[in-house]
């Protein structure tokens, strides 16, 4: 029984049962210990950005952490971008980062670097074991820390000797979980009074509350009581579809958000700071609430139970037991050109009940959201941190956590090229994931942003940096080369048929939606 | 004239003329400014690990920095692993990292993170502009810092408003470059005396001196004078081949290095700390010099001119003007099974004069090194930091810097799957790069290391994490899907023919060397 065994036993005893891994030499003891612990499911990913994106998807769906296995600073570094996304979704994750043996670090061997400094940026907790007997206690502490509230990555650095040396303790401690604090009754009463005297109140529902059924349901009650709920533009997870209340999203572009919020005189915040524009633009405001004349109040901090507070607020306002619920309605069949909108219709016509949608579709996303509002109940997982390249990795983890639920991964072609090796893990694990690539051969959003930032029209150099043409990427080849069956569609009809087939058959599939 | 224009003008005035880029919204002003500066070559990479690996390859070949263009913390994060490799090669690089507008950072928008903390780990210099008028001076400072000595990444954070606002200064300052300090004559004399009285002296040549013609030539003179030169196991760049002295490399595995160094009673260090094992292993030493009975002396620190000091040391020892030089000799043609050794013969038979070899071939590397010793003069660029996934990105940059020199990129299949989207940039830029993928469908080095770390034989879970089979990756599909012509070879003869063809024709090619 060595430190690696103690680590994995403690993780399993704390219900951490999936490990997304890209190991190296310093993690060999952990890998070997997995052979002695069949209750931990190891999933090999061929790049650490896939590892961490999968852990994010898993945590969002399972509501508990998976562990990652990463190889020193560079391995962690490769996972930084998707851990940034996970940080913005408050996803519980336990990172196990292998390091040089404690006594070897002083010699600054080639793979040595300051792992703590790297990991601190996107972690809620970072500690290194210094002896094998510390490992079990630290593992339990990491699991507890990952739940927050509000939750995030806990990064446990595991020097190789702490893994290979024998342990003398047999204790496998339980993680301490801190619940969310209740919001004081006076706060709720006071905000209810403000709402009653407001002309146009909105309630902005942040990531934590927006991810729960209770939060969305309470938001619906508030809508029925005359308070307009607005969800995050990019909500880590939201249950939507028929029979559920569907809040509007905060608009992405600042000027649209400002227009949408015109006349609002009260903004109530739930588990969020005041909403800000995704980017700043010359001459446009950073904060989205109207300047002057709009009071901003906080109903619940991130560590507080915003869903329960919204429900209590709805009671205080005399709201009905339920808000307006979405009716079951699927789009009509479309023919002709394949566009994000007609592809969205195909998706909306066939998305099955219980599906999990992993959305990294960038400019193609909104038309698909519009076309799936009335689908049977499903979950939607968005790109929370703006670091593209999450769509396929997140689907890996969502499928492992979803155990039988159909997963649909929506991706811009530019985004999907960040982590194309995630396709291999779909094939290896035979995951029930349909990957759609919206191939417009462009960083289309940047062509829009180039104008909006006042940078003008693209000349030859700028065009070269915004276009993915020359050569065009053949997604069918990239998928088949990694064992994923694939098809290309360039009409609404053929896309509809391909998507319907993919929904009817289990296993990984890729559809290249070749846009004009 | 805005901050972005001032930045690019200053970079160009300081001879920074290549920009490897993966831009986002906050970098649109920089992208637009490139249209006004045709002397800067923009190269689009579809992932930031390709951007930074290309900048590393460029810097190693050109001896001056390229600039990167990266999108906030997550974009920089995706580039961390190859910047780690660049740090270990002391490669000059100027990172331009776009950030939110200065006034927007306080609102913690989704893409916000602590860029300085992330960048500090692998940078020799990190600063953020706070106004557009600072940008030009900071750009010059960054270029100067990137040269060191000993050189590295200088990371300039560029808030969006510092790029889009007008500048009032027209000054485009020149970078201050610090030369390497000369080693004191007494140090050289003192070490010469120690060498004269040593029985088995070695001189360990670190990255800086080992990368120069002068350093390798002086090492050869010392060899002729009875001091055995040993180069880094993974030298960032080394000139080798016919007519040059070729030092032995420090052995990779600690026990082999210890055996190789048995009896050594004096180790002289040039621009390096005492050599340490790549990894620690149970019961094996961390430091490679013999324990007891071996004195270690430093001839030159990293900031000192080790090559000149070695030459002066050779003079003091009465060494001849030249050491033993490699004769021109190519391997015999091989037939039968394709192995790293027979593939190495094919490479050794056809590698052209002036070629640049980018080596991320892991377990396949040594047989190829053995087979190319006597090739016409060429440069070899190794994986300095142990973060696999550098081989194809580094070739992108080497080809841009090499301007007409043939580039050969050697990759393990596991390594190449970290950054397969680098192939697209080869096609886009029509770079003269031949990519060889050694496909053993395994993290073979980890199968070796699993035993060496005492972790035992792999069971089902461990085997699953070390194997790349199931599904096998079809590299021909991955290459063709990104516009790179490709062929698969599984015999020594067919590989020899394919490699010969690739050397004779310009443009990107991929050869999948399917190993048994």
Write the pLDDT tens digit of every residue in A12-43: 999 999 999 999 999 999 999 999 999 999 99
Residue of B nearest to A234 (CA): B110
Mutation for A interface: B25, B231, B273, B285, most A CBs within 10 A: B25
Cβ-contact B357, B378 below 8 angstroms: yes
Checking if the pLDDT of A500 tops 90, the result is yes
At A447 the pLDDT is 87
Tell me the average pLDDT of chain B.
Answer: 97
Checking if the pLDDT of B73 tops 90, the result is yes
Distance CA A348, CA A376 (A): 9
DSSP, collapsed to helix, strand or coil, labels residue A144 as: helix
Grade residue A169 by pLDDT with cuts at 50, 70 and 90.
confident
Quick one: how far is CA A312 from the chain centroid?
Answer: 28
Distance CA A136, CA A3 (A): 8
Task: Read off the pLDDT of residues A286-295 as tens digits, 9 standing for 90 and up.
Answer: 999 999 899 9
CB-CB under 8 Å, A35 with B459: yes
Mean pLDDT, rounded, for A229-235: 98
Nearest to A461 among B35, B111, B472 (CB): B35
Residue B55 host element (H or E): helix B48-62
* CA distance, residue B99 to nearest chain A CA (Å): 10
Q: Mutual orientation of helices B391-402 and B48-62 as an angle, nearest 10°?
A: 50
At B276 the pLDDT is 97
Nearest to A424 among B274, B462, B473 (CB): B473
Nearest to B386 among A111, A276, A466 (CB): A111
Cβ-contact A176, A144 below 8 angstroms: yes
At A82 the pLDDT is 98
- The angle formed by the CA atoms of residues A28, A31 and A35, to the nearest 5 degrees, is 135
Our CA dihedral for A161, A165, A168, A174, rounded to 10 degrees, sits at: 50
Domains assigned to chain B: 3-164 (3.40.50.970), 185-316 (3.40.50.1220), 340-514 (3.40.50.970)
φ, ψ of residue A284 to 5 degrees: the values are -120, 150
Mean pLDDT, rounded, for B341-364: 98
Checking if the pLDDT of B169 tops 90, the result is no
Checking if the pLDDT of A449 tops 90, the result is no
Note whether ipTM > 0.90 here.
yes
Distance CA B360, CA B383 (A): 6
CB-CB under 8 Å, B280 with A160: yes
Grade residue B457 by pLDDT with cuts at 50, 70 and 90.
confident
At B54 the pLDDT is 99
Distance CA B478, CA B467 (A): 19
Token pair for B500: 């010969």
Token pair for B391: 């081989």
Token pair for B428: 């886009």
Checking if the pLDDT of B455 tops 90, the result is no
Alpha-helix runs per DSSP H in A317-364: 340-350
CB-CB under 8 Å, B160 with A279: yes
At B456 the pLDDT is 75
Identify the bridge partners of residue A2 per DSSP, sorted by sequence position.
Answer: A166
Cβ-contact B496, B343 below 8 angstroms: no
Residues shown for chain B: 516
At B509 the pLDDT is 98
Q: β-strands A228-231, A93-99: how paired?
A: unpaired
Our CA dihedral for A364, A370, A374, A377, rounded to 10 degrees, sits at: 50
Checking if the pLDDT of B179 tops 80, the result is yes
Residue with tokens 């069971």: B459
Our CA dihedral for A7, A11, A17, A19, rounded to 10 degrees, sits at: -50
Grade residue A456 by pLDDT with cuts at 50, 70 and 90.
confident
At A471 the pLDDT is 97
Q: How many CB atoms sit inside 10 A of residue A243's CB?
A: 12
- The angle formed by the CA atoms of residues A502, A506 and A510, to the nearest 5 degrees, is 45
Checking if the pLDDT of B248 tops 80, the result is yes
* CA distance, residue B66 to nearest chain A CA (Å): 16
Distance CA A387, CA A393 (A): 12
Q: Cα Rg for chain A, rounded, in angstroms? A: 24
Residue of A nearest to B109 (CA): A278
List of long-range contacts for B104-107, beta carbons under 8 Å, 24+ apart: B104/A276, B104/A277, B104/A279, B104/A280, B104/A286, B104/B160, B104/B161, B105/B159, B107/A273, B107/A274, B107/A276, B107/A277, B107/A286, B107/A287
At B449 the pLDDT is 87
Distance CA B64, CA B93 (A): 8
Mean pLDDT, rounded, for B224-243: 98
Q: Which residue, among A384, A379, A90, A361, has the nearest Cα to A246 in the 3D structure? A: A379
Nearest to B470 among A80, A428, A480 (CB): A428
Mean pLDDT, rounded, for A315-321: 98
Instruction: Sort A228 into a burial class: Cβ within 10 Å, 0-12 / 13-18 / 19+.
Output: middle
At A431 the pLDDT is 98
Grade residue B4 by pLDDT with cuts at 50, 70 and 90.
very high
Grade residue B175 by pLDDT with cuts at 50, 70 and 90.
very high
Mean pLDDT, rounded, for A497-506: 98
Tell me the average pLDDT of chain A.
Answer: 97
CB-CB under 8 Å, B477 with A483: no
Checking if the pLDDT of A451 tops 90, the result is no
Residue with tokens 């399972």: A62
Checking if the pLDDT of A47 tops 90, the result is yes
At B453 the pLDDT is 76
Task: Read off the pLDDT of residues B6-24 as tens digits, 9 standing for 90 and up.
Answer: 999 999 999 999 999 999 9
Peptide bond into B378 cis (omega under 30): no
CB-CB under 8 Å, A384 with B110: yes
Q: How many CB atoms sit inside 10 A of residue B41's CB?
A: 15
Mean pLDDT, rounded, for B479-488: 98
Token pair for B75: 């974009």
CB-CB under 8 Å, B42 with A464: yes
Is the pTM higher than 0.80? The answer reads yes
CB-CB under 8 Å, B474 with A478: no
E strands, A145-270, in order: 153-159, 201-205, 228-231, 238-240, 248-249, 266-270
Size of interface A-B (CB pairs under 8 A): 323
Grade residue B403 by pLDDT with cuts at 50, 70 and 90.
confident
Checking if the pLDDT of A363 tops 90, the result is yes
Distance CA B418, CA B394 (A): 13
At A87 the pLDDT is 98
Q: How many CB atoms sit inside 10 A of residue B13's CB?
A: 17
């Amino acid at each position: 029984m060595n430190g690696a065994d103690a680590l994995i036993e403690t993780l399993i005893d704390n219900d951490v049962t999936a490990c997304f891994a890209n190991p190296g030499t310093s993690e060999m003891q952990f890998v070997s210990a997995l052979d002695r612990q069949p209750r931990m499911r190891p999933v090999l990913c061929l790049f650490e950005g896939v590892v961490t994106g999968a852990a994010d998807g898993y945590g969002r769906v399972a509501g508990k952490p998976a562990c990652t296995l990463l190889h020193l600073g560079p391995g962690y570094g490769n996972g930084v971008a998707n851990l940034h996304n996970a940080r913005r979704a408050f996803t519980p994750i336990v990172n196990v980062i292998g390091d040089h043996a404690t006594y070897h670090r002083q010699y600054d061997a080639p793979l040595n670097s300051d792992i703590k400094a790297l990991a601190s940026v996107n972690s809620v907790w970072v500690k290194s074991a210094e002896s094998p007997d510390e490992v079990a206690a630290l593992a339990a502490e990491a699991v507890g820390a990952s739940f927050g509230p509000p939750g995030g990555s806990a990064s446990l650095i595991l020097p190789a000797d702490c893994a290979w040396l024998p342990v003398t303790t047999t204790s496998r401690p339980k993680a301490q979980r801190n619940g969310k604090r209740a919001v004081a009754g006076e706060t709720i009463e006071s905000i209810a009074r403000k709402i009653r005297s407001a002309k146009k109140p909105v309630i902005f529902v942040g990531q934590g509350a927006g991810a729960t059924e209770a939060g969305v349901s309470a938001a619906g009650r508030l809508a029925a009581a005359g308070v307009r709920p607005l969800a995050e533009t990019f909500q880590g997870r939201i249950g939507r579809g028929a029979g559920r209340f569907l809040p509007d999203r905060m608009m992405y572009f600042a000027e649209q958000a400002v227009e949408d919020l015109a006349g609002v005189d009260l903004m109530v915040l739930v588990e969020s700071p005041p909403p800000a524009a995704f980017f700043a633009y010359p001459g446009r405001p950073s904060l989205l609430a109207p300047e002057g004349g709009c009071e901003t109040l906080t109903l619940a901090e991130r560590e507080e139970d915003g869903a329960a507070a919204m429900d209590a607020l709805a009671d205080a306002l005399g709201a009905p037991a339920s808000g307006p619920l979405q009716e079951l309605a699927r789009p009509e069949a479309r023919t002709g050109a394949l566009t994000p909108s007609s592809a969205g219709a195909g998706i909306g016509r066939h998305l099955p009940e219980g599906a999990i949608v992993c959305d990294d579709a960038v400019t193609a996303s909104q038309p698909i959201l519009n076309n799936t509002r009335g689908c049977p109940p499903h979950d939607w997982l968005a790109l929370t941190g703006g670091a593209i390249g999450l769509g396929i990795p997140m689907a890996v983890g969502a499928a492992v956590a979803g155990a039988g639920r159909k997963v649909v991964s929506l991706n811009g072609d530019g985004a999907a090229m960040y982590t194309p090796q995630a396709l291999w893990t779909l094939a290896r694990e035979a995951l029930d994931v349909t990957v759609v690539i919206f191939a417009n051969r462009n960083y289309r959003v940047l062509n829009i942003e180039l104008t909006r930032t006042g940078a003008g029209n693209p000349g030859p150099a700028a065009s070269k940096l915004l276009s993915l043409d020359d050569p065009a990427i053949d997604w069918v080849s990239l998928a088949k080369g990694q064992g994923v069956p694939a098809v290309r569609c360039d009409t609404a009809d053929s896309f509809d048929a391909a998507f319907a087939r993919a929904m009817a058959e289990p296993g990984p599939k890729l559809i290249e939606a070749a846009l004009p």
